[in-house]
Each structure stands twice: as C-alpha cells, then as structure tokens.
Amino acid sequence: MMSSLTRAVCVVSLLINLCFFNFIFIRRQGALTWTRKSAEEAEEVASIDCSGHGTAFLDGALSNGGKPVCECSLCYGGPYCSEILPDCPANADGGDPLFLQPYWIQNAATSAVTVSGWHRMSYSFVKSSMLSDELVRQIQKLHETVGNAVTDGKFIVFGVGSTQLLHAALYALSDDDRLSKPVNVVALAPYYSMYQEHGTMFNTRNFEWQGDVSLWKNISNNSTSKSFIEIVTSPNNPDSKLRQPILEGPFARIMYDHAYYWPHYSAIPAPANGDLMIFTLSKITGHAGSRFGWAIIKDADVFQRMVTYLQYNTLGLSHETQVRALELLKVVLEDEGKTLFEFGYKTIANRWEKLNKIVSASKYFSLQKLSPQYCNYFQDIHHPSPGYAWLKCEMEENKECHKVLEAAGISGRQGSSFGVEDRYVRLTLLRSDDDFNLLLQRLVSLVSKELVDTN
C-alpha cells in the first residue's frame, strides 16, 4: 500500500518535473537577454503608486531610496500625490492633451518601445533621408483610414512638432519670387496665439505678421502690390469651428493648420485637400512631449524649401521620436483607430456636455455654439466635442473675463492672445480628469454664487 502510494507520488512528481522542464527550458527559448534590465526598470517605475493623481517617470527626480518620485497632478501633493493642495487654481490654460494618458496605460503592452543603445545613430535613414519611410507610410495609412486628408500624389515632411512646421511653411511659402516682400501673414480672429509670436519673433525680411485677415480682405483681392499667407486653422483654435480661407487670388497662399481635425474633436465631413496642411502627433495620440508633426504638401518647390529649412534649422528630427511615433500609430491603426477615437470623442463630448450644463445656468457667461454634424469616420452623427471652450463674459462690466475667472480660481487664456477682446477666455478640455474636474467644481461655485447674487 505504502509502496504504491510512493510510486504514485513519484510518477506525479516526475510528470510535474517534466512540465516545469518544458516551461523553463523549452518555452524559455524566447527568454530575454540584453533588454531585460531596461524592461525591468520600466516596469518598476510604472509600479510606483501615485494614488491615481500622478505618475512616476524613468527620468524623474530620485527619492533618497534612488527610485523616481511621483510627479503629481497640479493640485495634488505629498510623496504619493494623495494630498489635495488647498486653494490651488484650476488650470484650464495651455493645450496639454493629458486626457489621452489613460488610453495608453490601457494599451501598455502594445505601445511600449524598447530602443537599443545603437538604434539609428546616424544622421540619416537609408538613402540619406532624415525621415523614416515606414512612418511616412503609416501616416498615409492613418489619413486614408480616418478620411481626414488626401495624401495621394503629395509630399510629406516631418517637423519638431507642428510648431517648427508652421515656421518652415512661412519660409517656404514666402520664399517665392512671384510674391512681394515682406509677405503679410494673416489669420481670421480669433486665431491661435502662437501665430503672432511666430510671425514676429525671428525678425526676417521674408514675412511680417499683420494680424486679423478681416482687415485685409478687400485690399488683398484687388491688389497686386501686396502678397499674403493666410493661416487657416480648421477646426479653429480656440473656438473649434471648421473654417475655409478668406483670401484668394494669385498673391495669396493658404496654410492649413489641421491639428484638431481628428474624430476626437470634430466631425470629419470630408477629407481635407489643401495645398499645404499641417498635423501633429500631440493632438491625435496625445504625445505633445514627443514634438512630432508632419506637413502634407502639394507643390514640389514648396516641399523642397521646407526640407531645406528643416535641414538648416535642426538637421532633421529625433530618431527616438520617429520610432516611438511609428509604434504608437501602429497601435492606433490595429483596429482602424476605433478604440482611440471613441475614447477621445466620448471623453471630450462628455466634458463639453457637463461644462455646457453648468454655463447654461448662468446669465453672466456663455459658450460658443456648436451643432451636431454627420461624421464620415464614425458613420454617425457627431455631437460637439471641442478641444477648447470659448467662454464669453456677457455682462457689460466684465471686460476682462480672465480676471473674473482668476478671482474664482480658474486660469484660462485671455481673448487678446487670440486677437479679440478680453471679454473672451479660452478654457481647455484636454487636460487630465483631475484638472478638468477641478475646473467644473470651480465653475459650479462661480455660477452658484451668481444665482445666489441675482436672487
């Protein structure tokens, strides 16, 4: 009896050994060698618990124990971001697209990238190009899938964010013998605040910032002595409206900033087909810190001048960024963008609805009016989901709306940055849940106070 039990144990034990052996020596053929350390480091950092109100990063400041510390949301503090900071202003300024961070945490396994120490050390890729051909192909596929831009027969160039591309495009378009210098750079107000800084900063003889296009419309169409570059932002930043150019004729060049022309923020009624269109990774995947943008260009000469500008300005752009952008876009395209765009759209539409509900209870404030529109990408009605709320102070005396908000603990960007009155303020809907929830909370207090005051 004893012996047969021993025998049975022995057989089971041998079988278990066989399983373990198989597991360790056969299945472990794919075991990691030189990547293990970096993978372990990444997982260790990711496992640091920041209470859902912060993140630890590989290159963060180190604690005394030598581990990266939690970097907290703006209004949270303490070593694990568990403490709410009192009287902390709700940040609704800037365009940091942090609302997409949860999407990438959900897709951790597919979106990680391991870069070897010898990855693409050269200045160039194959054929002396500064661009990853695979990334160009992925971007073409992305636009085809989303249906938001025509890339067929056009050139693609990359830049250090759309910021650099805007600048490169101003040079490329203005450096044209048919245009008198300096070329006037204009945009319809309210316009993105950076254009003015771009237009004036570098003190070039080629072009000059002239502000609101409305002031120039009649002159430009009848004049041969003045030439123009009109920047058309569609959807517009700050008010999210889809836009068309105002200027036309042989001395007007149009540059389209399509940063927000993605299903997160806008219905996609048709593919954009401008001669020079600029997009940025920042607003599709949320990776603002990667500094990656691309331009789609019809004219070969303009393309060549942009390439030359980018070559002299920065000699191409980060190869680390290019390989990561490729991996991120692969994740997006795995299901034709479905999960990313649905996540983004639902998040922003939901935020907009909440904000609207609060503001509509007020007589002191109003928001831009946006209508539902059919979206070719979702093949459905797209409810408004703007990247920014364009808030107006309705009361005659509130000429400086940002000050009214500041007093209520909300920091936004004032209207004059966008070429209009300070009666307007831009509030972002793109930041983290922490920041947005605080904004809602502060707005509720502000509007409640108004209701109490008026009763």
Per CB under 8 A, which of residues 208..237 are in contact with its own copies? none
Give a three-class secondary structure readout of 283-349. Answer: HHCCCHHHCCEEEEECCHHHHHHHHHHHHHHHCCCCHHHHHHHHHHHHHHHHCCCHHHHHHHHHHHH
402 counts as binding its own copies under rule CB under 8 A:
no
Shortest Å, Cβ 254 to its own copies = 22
Contact with its own copies (CB under 8 A): which of 135, 272, 375, 439?
Answer: 135
Contact with its own copies (CB under 8 A): which of 53, 258, 264, 324?
Answer: 324
Contact with its own copies (CB under 8 A): which of 1, 26, 29, 61?
Answer: 61
Measured distance CA(441)–CA(90) in Å, rounded = 9
CA distances from 184 to 9, 28, 164, 214 (A): 88, 65, 19, 13
- Answer whether 450's CB lies under 8 Å from 364's CB: yes
Shortest Å, Cβ 368 to its own copies = 24
Other beta carbons within 10 angstroms of residue 79's beta carbon come to 13
CB-nearer residue toward its own copies: 285 or 362 = 285
Binding to its own copies, residues 408-427 (CB under 8 A): none
Contact with its own copies (CB under 8 A): which of 185, 331, 401, 425?
Answer: 331
339 counts as binding its own copies under rule CB under 8 A:
no
Contact with its own copies (CB under 8 A): which of 140, 145, 193, 204?
Answer: 204
Q: Two tokens at 403?
A: 């000050």
Contact with its own copies (CB under 8 A): which of 84, 88, 150, 194?
Answer: 194
CB-nearer residue toward its own copies: 100 or 267 = 100
Other beta carbons within 10 angstroms of residue 279's beta carbon come to 28
Contact with its own copies (CB under 8 A): which of 38, 145, 304, 398?
Answer: 38
Size of the site for its own copies (CB under 8 A): 109
Shortest Å, Cβ 56 to its own copies = 11
- Answer whether 237's CB lies under 8 Å from 209's CB: no
Collect all residues with Cβ–Cβ distance below 8 Å to 316 and sequence separation of at least 6. 123, 124, 130, 131, 310
| DSSP code per residue over 15-65 | HHHHHHHIIIIIGGGG--STTHHHHHHHHHHHTS--TTSEEE-TTSPB-TT
- Answer whether 76's CB lies under 8 Å from 89's CB: no
180 counts as binding its own copies under rule CB under 8 A:
no
Binding to its own copies, residues 268-297 (CB under 8 A): 282, 286-292
Collect all residues with Cβ–Cβ distance below 8 Å to 454 and sequence separation of at least 6. 363
CB-nearer residue toward its own copies: 93 or 230 = 93
CB-nearer residue toward its own copies: 347 or 368 = 347
Binding to its own copies, residues 11-30 (CB under 8 A): 13-14, 16-17, 20-21, 23-24, 30
161 counts as binding its own copies under rule CB under 8 A:
yes
Shortest Å, Cβ 424 to its own copies = 23
34 counts as binding its own copies under rule CB under 8 A:
yes
